[in-house]
Chain A
Amino acid sequence: MTTPTLRVATDVGGTFTDLVCFETDAETGQSRITTAKSDTTPPNFEQGVLNVLKKGGVNAADIGFIAHGTTVVINALTERKGVKVGLITTEGFRDTLEIARGNRPDFFNLHYQKPAPFVPRHLRRELPGRMSYKGEEATPLDLSGLAGILEDFQSEGVEAIAICFLHSYANTAHEVATLHAVKAAWPDVAVVSSHQITREWREYERSNTTVLSAYVQPAAERYLNRLDTGLREQGFTGRPYIMQSNCGVDSLSAVARTPITMVESGPASGFWGAAELGKLIGEPNVLALDIGGTTAKCSLIENGQVRIMTDYWIERDAKSAGYPIMVPVVDLVEIGNGGGSIAWVDDFGKLHVGPQSAGALPGPAAYGKGGTKATTTDANLWLGRINRDYFCGGDLAADMAACEAALKAVGDKLGVSVDDAARGIVRIANNNMVNALKLVSLNRGFDPRDFTLIAFGGGGAMHAVALAQELGVKKVVVPAAASVFSAWGMMMSDLRRDYFVTQLADVSTGSADLIESVFASAEDSAASQFIDEGIERNQVQFTRYGKFRYQNQEHTTEVELSGPVTDANLAEIAARFHDTYEREYTYRLDAPVEMVGIHLVATAAVGKLEMQARDTTTTDASTAIKSERDIDYALEGCHTAQCFDGDKLEPGMTLTGPAIVEDAGTTIVIHPGDAVSVDGYGNLHIVLAGAAQ
């Protein structure tokens, strides 16, 4: 029997389940990529995965590594398709979930409505018992009322239980005792306690996170376990890995316990791909931009490191407070601006793009499926940026009449021509995206001019150069096979777990032992979790971050630490904090520094894809030219551009803008004067005009 060599990424989306399979030639190191697509099969999502493997001709016995991403969790939350949850919490605090943070983001509106809690009041129950913030027991836990609570939950049809007590981040004993008691009394029920998900303070955020995890737990657990069984029955002998929101993968059993950690796994794989690609091509500082059908997402990667945070929210916007989810999520900004975003003119003559999207049906007007509203895609098509003779990779004939009618409706409201309406839509969409990119760069104290923009997703390459011009970015990289880039990112992931633990400590002589002990104990518990999964401690890499602030501040600044924390190196740690703080906020204070908690990253390699550069060609890029067309660059006027077939571009080829590079999934718009080269992996490097040297 040969060693299984296939590397497979599967992704369960709302409509389709996708497969990307990488087959590496043992001799040349070259990868061959196969893709397949089949319907998503709710509620038995595992079936869709098994179907798509079959459709793609992948024999499970040949799979050496399989990573699985899913939107099942986020969809169950936004569509309210989870189970009935009961919450057990500290006496006097059952309403924490409903009080929430009390904020009214839409502050002039006297009709503001709070987001409704996921657990109604009669299913929020209390137990006596209290820990202090230092983790000392102030009142012992009294479980005598638990039997009655569980009886009520059963008669109410509760299917999952969340447990969250005050200060459990500092001492988990009461939660652990209650968890065991629930499992003993009601073995079949899905149950999760807050400390299993996070060890950070803020009771509302922790309670809500625990509740949302319980809400999706039965469905997630069921389908992940069936997926495991199904793969095994077909001969797969390894361990499937599940994509996480922190850009790593995790074991199936760990994810089934706290499925909420998958909530943003989709975007995470793309951003991880950008970080890995950056390292591969020697561009460790990356602005990553993913433009899809309904949204654009961006994230900043500094020195090859993605930034992981725990203040993630769903359904939060200018009109609603939303719901917090306190799990490690890649730091990203998402705006409602994708290819399908609808352009509209308000009653006061202002043009807007998004956040409403035309979706897949009816889709942009040019799909000819009954859409009458102009979208970003329609504007790009009208301006010649998208090829009207090769629309959707040639799968669809562009309905230019419908496109024109939709754009004309926008133009009429603005009092401008169809051309100007299309230019306006592209400019407003670009401005929205520029502001999102500023939020992840300038707002965090980073100068975008020091970063390379990596653009992917269906629409990334169409807008990337214009955005880079506006931000002063010198170089844009469009990855080879940009449309399956997220799957590639999944292939490049490590087994990764992020541990956040709240622990207040002064950064002054005498406190190093305390700080070191928090890291050491987090590392020990992480290592034992890895050992349970057959990974030895010496294979696990730890990266330590401290979360620091000036005493009395609230928000923290994360600083990477190297080596053990000792009293001798506290001053150096403080100095690094002062520097990081000043870079972000322009000033520093002569004030005491305190640590609020730690962030420990534990990673273990689980066999990444090894990339091999191909030899460069001496053939001229002109052999890839397939046509010529007029392109309207909005701010730079109209130019006749050569159109290159992306599939025919070879390593070493170079070309100059104005130009278009297109393949079935991506259109790359290259502006006048930009210099383009193809690297050994097939990625396009676009150096912007005027940015030489």
Chain B
Amino acid sequence: MASAPHDPITLQVIHASLQAAATEMFAVLRRTAMSPIIYEVLDAGTAITTARGELVCSGAGIPTFVGALDKAVAHLASSHADTTLPGDVFITNDPSYGGVTHLNDVVIAEPIHIDGVVIAWAASVAHWSDIGGLTAGSMAVDAREIFQEGLRLPAVKLIDAGTPIQGVFDIVRANSRQPDTTLGDLWAQIAAGRRAAKRITAVAKAYGLDAWQMALDAAFDADESRARTGLATLPQGRYSLSAVQDDQSTWTVHVHIKSDRFTVDLRDGPDQIDSPYNTSRDSATIAAQMLFKALCDPTRHASAGSFRPLEILTRPGSLFDPTETAPHGFYFETRIRLLDLLWQCLAPALPNALPAGHFGTIGATVIAGKHPDTGRRSTLVEPQMGGWGATHERDGQSALFSTNHGDTFNCPAEITEARHGIDVRWRQLSAKACGPGLHHGGRGLDTCYAARAPVTVAVGFSRNREPVWGTQGGGAGDCNTVTLTRTSGDTEQVAFASGLELNAGDSIRVETASGGGWGKPAD
């Protein structure tokens, strides 16, 4: 029986080979990309899905992209059903066309055919440094419609049966302030997809389509079973929380935990707005998936089966399910706040499973200008590290990337200074107080960037007014602060800003928040 083609070991070997392909795809993307935000920050992901777009496995470097590509492929599979050819490659970036996040995140997907049938898709997503729009970097705080955020690529064909469609490449090139980097990143994604397609084809041919299908079904069932086992350990009940945000609006979430279902109800959320803080329903779903995964099965591996017990309810026209023309540039700050809110909502009921709150922002920091030594244009784009909350067992971690990042690497000061011609005056743990408690929160990070030549700066920091929460009697951490200091000595505090002009000698100091405390402080 064991050497029959469909025994459990064979199915397991097939699945392991697909995971290896997704990982390899990610390695190719990372090594060939042109933008530091892809190869260092790992603002990119890869996935293999079924023909219908169910996630089989992913090679993402960050958790928020694990559940992004299945949604993109599902859109492509339904809009291009049955018309794809071997060697086709598609491109999309619009949240209303399977793009999930914002226009900077471009999805490249390739259907994989065996004997004329699509058996899988290989897809990747990567943050492109510039895709046009109001401002350099394409993320303008003052965008009021998606049209101001750059080029919309509505799930169109990029390569036709192996032949690049030059017109689409030309459109992409013409709509970026950094066309060479953008095309480099695009080709990196194409190369990654080709690599995966080769591996997947080899696996499917070696074992046959019956075994292939059985292997996927078995993997989905196993992952569902993992999720349900975790779900069964959670306290059943209805949980709700309303919390005041930095802009003093109040957001409300409900979570309903039943033995067989985990429902996240966002229908009482705020209305959509005409600023770039809307996040698509797909994207809000990812916030719910992340919390669900952290609670039920916190391993890195995920597939469509992992999320079967999860249900998300949204209201069209809300911040978490906006209409087609809403701007999305800074969607990620809304999503991290949503995850934070869901986490805080359940923390009282799950004192051991959930730590106190963390610094709660991506902390996007963009510094663009001409390198003073080479005269070349360069753009520094980096997220920030900060303090994490204490747990029931220990103090919080210091200087770690946020929940929404993962195997993300900071850029060394030596490389920042060489590549961008910006001085890093210091980078150290912040001296700000940590959230007190039986276990105290971790420390934030204090970094000072100084311009050597004129640069334009954009930043986005949540938790700039409402401090990080403690739990089980632990105290609050503090807030994220960004301070601009001119050579004149004038200073200015900013939180969300784009188009800030700095001259040589001006500096920008980022101090991220410390984490919240856990438990009442011992006397």
Q: Could you say which residues of chain A place their CB within 8 Å of the CB of B394?
A: 113
Give Cα distance in the complex from A201 to B411, angstroms: 11
CB neighbours of B33 from chain A (8 A): 553-554
Chain A 536-578 near chain B by CB (<8 Å), digits 1 or 0: 0000000000000010111100000000000000000000000
**Contact residues in B for A134 (Cβ distance below 8 Å):** 373
**5 nearest A-B pairs in the assembled complex, by CB-CB distance:** A92-B426, A107-B406, A420-B2, A133-B418, A102-B385
B322 at the binding interface (Cβ < 8 Å): no
**Does A388 make an interface contact (CB < 8 A)?**
no
CB of A155 within 8 Å of the partner chain: no
The 8 A CB mask of A5-26 against B (1 = contact, 0 = none) is 0000000000000000000000
Cβ contact within 8 Å between A107 and B429: no
Pick from A202, A586, A635: contact of B195, CB under 8 Å: A586
Set of chain A residues within 8 Å of B445, measured between Cβ atoms = 99
Give A36 to B294 CA distance when docked, in angstroms: 53
Chain A residues near B (Cβ < 8 Å): 91-96, 98-114, 121, 132-134, 166-167, 169, 201-205, 318, 347-351, 414, 416-417, 419-420, 423-424, 427-428, 431-432, 435, 438-439, 442-443, 504, 550, 552-555, 585-587, 589, 591, 634-635, 637
Partner of B397, one of A107, A113, A121: A113
Chain A residue numbers with a CB within 8 Å of B294 are 108-110
A108-B293, A552-B181 known; A201-B414 Cβ under 8 A = yes
The answer, among B27, B30, B354, B427, for a CB contact under 8 Å with A96, is B427
Interface status of B9 (Cβ within 8 A of chain A):
yes
**CB-CB nearest in chain B for A92:** B426
Q: A473 CA to B156 CA in the complex, in Å?
A: 41
Inside 8 A of B409's CB, which chain A residues have their CB? 101-103
Q: A98-B429, A424-B2, A550-B184 are in contact. Are A318 and B12 (CB under 8 A)?
A: no
Task: Decide if A108 touches B290 in the complex (CB within 8 Å).
Answer: yes
Residues in B neighbouring A106, C-beta threshold 8 A: 298, 300
Which residue on A lies nearest to B404, using beta carbons? A107
Q: B160 contacts the other chain (Cβ, under 8 Å)? A: no
A414 CA to B12 CA, complexed, in Å? 12
Between-chain CB contacts (< 8 Å), 8 pairs: A96-B427, A107-B300, A349-B222, A424-B2, A438-B20, A550-B184, A555-B39, A587-B191
Q: What's the minimum C-beta distance from A205 to chain B, rounded to whole angstroms?
A: 8
Which one of B17, B20, B298 lies within 8 Å of A110 (CB-CB)?
B298
Please report the C-alpha to C-alpha distance between residue A167 and residue B24 in the assembled complex, in whole angstroms: 33
Q: A423-B2, A550-B34, A589-B187 are in contact. Are A350 and B12 (CB under 8 A)?
A: yes
Question: Using Cβ atoms and an 8 Å threshold, which residues of chain A touch B297?
Answer: 108
User: Is A99's CB under 8 angstroms from B399's CB?
Assistant: yes
**How far apart sit A504 and B374, CA to CA, in the bound complex (Å)?**
12
Bitwise, B388-418 to A at CB < 8 A (1) or not (0) is 0001001001111101011111101111011
Assess A108 versus B195: contact at CB under 8 Å? Given A443-B24, A555-B39.
Answer: no
A552 to B62, CA, bound (A): 22
Say yes or no: B400 contacts A112, CB within 8 Å. Answer: yes
B63 at the interface (CB under 8 A from A): yes
In angstroms, Cα B1 to Cα A420, docked, is 8
A166 contacts across to B, CB distance below 8 A: 413-414
Q: Are A93 and B427 in contact (CB under 8 A)?
A: yes
Residues in B with CB closer than 8 Å to A428 are 9, 12-13
Residues of A near B293 (CB, < 8 A) are: 108
The 8 Å CB contact of A443, one of B27, B415, B426, is: B27
CA distance A108 to B290 in the complex (A): 7
Selected from A110, A414, A417, A553, the residue in CB contact (under 8 A) with B8 is A414
Interface membership of B238, Cβ < 8 A: no
Q: Assign chain B's interface to a size class.
A: 35 or more
**B residues whose Cβ falls under 8 Å from a Cβ of A:** 1-3, 7-9, 12-13, 16-17, 20, 24, 27-28, 30-36, 39-40, 62-63, 180-181, 183-184, 187-188, 190-191, 194-195, 199, 222, 225-226, 229, 290, 293-294, 297-300, 302, 343, 354-355, 373, 385, 391, 394, 397-401, 403, 405-410, 412-415, 417-418, 425-429, 445, 448
Provide the bound-state CA to CA distance between A169 and B412, in Å. Answer: 14
B410 close to A102 (CB less than 8 A): yes
The reply to whether A93 and B403 contact each other, CB–CB distance below 8 Å, is: no
* A166 CA to B425 CA, complexed, in Å: 11
Which of A100, A101, A435, A439 has the most chain B CB atoms closer than 10 A to its own CB?
A: A101
Chain A residues closer than 8 Å to B3, beta-carbon distance: 423, 634-635, 637
Our pick among A99, A202, A442, A635 for the contact of B414 (Cβ within 8 Å) is: A202
- Chain A residues with Cβ below 8 Å from B448 are 92
Q: Of the candidates A95, A417, A442, which one forms a contact with B428 in the assembled complex, judged by CB atoms under 8 Å apart?
A: A95
Is A98 touching B298 in the complex (CB atoms < 8 A)? no
Asked whether B2 lies within 8 Å of A585 as measured between CB atoms, the reply is no
User: Which residues from chain B contact A101 at a C-beta distance below 8 Å?
Assistant: 409-410
- Check if B398 sits within 8 Å of A98, measured CB to CB: yes
* Residue on A nearest B402 in the bound complex, by CB: A104
Residue in B17, B184, B299 whose CB lies within 8 Å of A553: B184
Residues of A within 8 A of B400 (CB): 102, 104, 112, 114
Residue on A with the closest CB to B14?
A: A431
A133–B294 Cα distance when bound, in Å, is 41
Q: Least Cβ distance of A661 to chain B in Å?
A: 25
B20 touches A93 (CB 8 A): no
A202–B412 contact, CB under 8 A?
yes
**B8 — which chain A residues lie within 8 A by C-beta?**
349, 351, 414, 416, 424
With known contacts A114-B400, A586-B191, A93–B1 Cβ distance under 8 A: no
Q: Nearest residue in A to B397 (C-beta to C-beta)?
A: A114
Question: Taking CB as reference atom, which chain B residue is nearest A589?
Answer: B184
Pick from B229, B401, B429: contact of A347, CB below 8 A. B229
